[in-house]
Structure 1
Amino acid sequence: MPPSQMTKDDPLAAPAAVPVGLQPPYRPADRYAFLQSGATRLRYAWWNAVGTPRGTVLILPGRLEFIEKYATEVVGELLSRGFAVVGFDWRGQGLSDRPLPDSHKGHIDRFETYLTDLSLFLDTVLIDAPRPVIGLCHSMGGHLFLRSLAQNGSGPFAGGIVTAPMMGLKRQALLRNVIRLTPPFQAVDRHYLFGTGAFQASKYPFAGNVLTHDERRFRFTADWFEADPRLCLGGPTIGWCRQALRSMTAALAPGMLERIDLPILLVSAAQDDLVDPASHPPVVARLRQGELLTIAGCRHEVLMETDDIRAQFWVAFDRMAKEICG
């Protein structure tokens, strides 16, 4: 199918509403569209640079995340730095199609499906993006970005910044034991992971959260879910967890990370209680042009943290962007 028939501008790809309190920093996209991947629609958004573009930043979010979460602040910060910006919703989240009737279930058949979707996106949509292209990828998005580079080569990318990439989990041994004892049947894999379920804001209070110290940014997710319930996503399925473990094993296989020949800045959150920050130094050591920045006092969501923590990220981003883009 020609690229012109694979992507389609669609008003349904835009958010239905913007939370009242988030309207001042929010930046609506210049283009909202769907990319057809087989029977699945993948949603993306495109922001044109202001003036002559320095390049393009592609945002690849983590599990549960969606384009609007980054359009609330991060996109504006990138536009102010002279970049065009492209955001992408992984299948099963955001406004991309969901694989199960219960749309709150975070499910995937295998992580290779994500990689196939990403390859299609890079070969069609991103072909027109101003060069150089920098990946800005969080958690699951960072994992998939690194695995894609290792398996498929650099493609359009000139470099990448990965925040808290999912290369090891804090309670990985426990999760492996649970998954090992759970039969790998499709009907079982489509159940929520034990202890999780559909999203309810009341079940995720700010107090005691493991994502960020910043209460305003912590509430971005729930605010957007309320404004546009199509964005809502709950806990992962047993199958998603099974495939995540398999994908981490594949990404860390001997010789894989060593194939990546791009400058990669890995930003590790020292107080991360989801992704294991101890998994990051060995990853960077295997990259040909890897650099590690560990931010003290930072929880999992680096770009949703407090201003002082985010300022450390942006100093590192600006330095790397200057090296790549001039």
Structure 2
Amino acid sequence: MSKLPQLAETDSLRQLKITDFCQRHEQQHVMTGTRGRRLHYCFYPQPKQPLLVIAPGRAEAAFKYRELAMDCFNQGYQVSVIDHRGQGLSQRFFPERHLGHMDSFDHAAQDLLQLTRRCNFDDQPCYLIAHSMGASIALRAMQLAPNQFHRAALSAPMLGLPLPYPAVFLKPYLAVRSAIEARRWRKQKQCPDYISSSRRDYHDSGFEQNPLTSSTVRYHEFRAMYQQQPELQLGGPTAGWLYQAMRLIESIQHNTDKLVTPMLFALAEDERVVAPAGQQKLRRNLLQKPVESYWLNLPKARHEPLLEVDSIRTPLLQQIFTFFKRA
């Protein structure tokens, strides 16, 4: 095991070290996921070591997690990072690649379980680190397969959405609109539209007002990667994505009795992407269950604590790895 962090923000050789790590250890693979969808993932093998699966958030590519993969690898884990269906290098749903869509989050949860079984060659304990949308997919996966993971760390889980109207009114509208758009796609190959006129094709709105991280280094690194590899870019969501996300959140909250995996939750104090009320609702529900759960409130952290400044990110990683090593 190595001391954390592997790469300080001030390290002038950060990108060279990440590139060297990837050249020596990164494998890129494609698998067939649920309902025949082609999925891309990165694998960093370390035979006979526990498997740690990483589930990114919405619009995030597996490549964005190379620094985290290196940290996990050097702590003694073999690591697998999925590109969720419809994003990264996995198969998109429509020719318009920037459309952020989802057919079913249960399918995405089954993809995650399939990847875990595929990469666990030596029948080792399996661990999970998941962020935002990926954390909600992970929660659903743990409900569908309660004994798959030994322990899980969930960063800023997407358990509530900042909606423009009350969900009781918005959900029926989204159900109808997404059904109409799905029929138009099947019959006429007409792509859906974005749900919001202000969130369409991918664009970098700049560091100053970004809600993701206060680390200028890590922010500019992932933005540069998306600029250099435009095939990774994803724009705003469709009505279908938003409708399926609401269904996912409901499924998680209504099936908390199926969560038996010990979990560590890392919540951002400066959260501006997901609605924290859903996180607190799950916390209250889990307090009444026998499942082991720990909740960390991270002062000054924005939505992506695992991409934050070293003063936030390093202690969080230390707590995650300490949690994973508990009996």
TM over 0.5: yes
Alignment of 1:41 onto 2:26: no
- 1:194-232 deviations in Å (ceiling 9; x for gaps): 12111123xx11111111111221223321222222211
Q: State how far apart, in whole Å, the 2-side matches of 1:118 and 1:52 are.
A: 21
Aligned equivalent of 2:109, options 109, 115, 140: 115
Conserved 8 A contact 1:270-1:277: no
Q: How many residues align?
A: 295
Amino acid at match of 2:156: A
Q: How does 1:112-261 map to 2 (within 5 A)?
A: 112-123=106-117, 125-128=118-121, 131-155=124-148, 157-169=149-161, 171-172=162-163, 174=165, 176=167, 177-182=169-174, 183-188=176-181, 190-194=192-196, 195-201=198-204, 204-253=205-254, 256-261=255-260
- 1:230-284 deviations in Å (ceiling 9; x for gaps): 211111111101110111111111xx11221121001111111112233324323
Residue number in structure 2 paired with 1:274 = 273
Conserved 8 A contact 2:270-2:303: yes
Alignment of 1:299 onto 2:293: no
Aligned equivalent of 2:323, options 292, 295, 320: 320
Higher mean C-alpha displacement, 35-44 vs 241-250: 35-44
Amino acid at match of 2:282: V
Describe the SS at the equivalent of 1:184.
helix
Describe the SS at the equivalent of 2:273.
coil
C-alpha spacing 1:207/1:130, structure 2 compared with 1 (3 Å): farther
Residue number in structure 2 paired with 1:80 = 74
- 1:123-150 deviations in Å (ceiling 9; x for gaps): 3x13315622110000111111111112
- Displacement after TM superposition at 1:22 (Å): 3.1
Describe the SS at the equivalent of 2:325.
helix
Amino acid at match of 1:44: Y
Residue number in structure 1 paired with 2:64 = 69
Q: State how far apart, in whole Å, the 2-side matches of 1:173 and 1:147 are.
A: 25
Conserved 8 A contact 2:177-2:239: no
Conserved 8 A contact 2:110-2:141: no
C-alpha spacing 1:153/1:175, structure 2 compared with 1 (3 Å): same
Residue number in structure 2 paired with 1:264 = 263
- Displacement after TM superposition at 1:41 (Å): 1.1
Q: State how far apart, in whole Å, the 1-side matches of 2:166 and 2:237 are.
A: 12
- 1:158-190 deviations in Å (ceiling 9; x for gaps): 010000011112x23637355544542445472
Structure 1 length-normalised TM:
0.83
Unpaired segments of 5 or more residues in structure 2? Answer: 1-12, 183-191
Q: State how far apart, in whole Å, the 2-side matches of 1:291 and 1:140 are.
A: 19
Q: State how far apart, in whole Å, the 1-side matches of 2:122 and 2:54 are.
A: 13
Q: State how far apart, in whole Å, the 2-side matches of 1:148 and 1:303 are.
A: 21
- Displacement after TM superposition at 1:100 (Å): 0.7
Q: State how far apart, in whole Å, the 2-side matches of 1:237 and 1:22 are.
A: 34
Describe the SS at the equivalent of 2:150.
strand
Conserved 8 A contact 2:55-2:135: yes
Q: State how far apart, in whole Å, the 1-side matches of 2:201 and 2:313 are.
A: 30
Conserved 8 A contact 2:51-2:120: no
C-alpha spacing 1:307/1:130, structure 2 compared with 1 (3 Å): farther
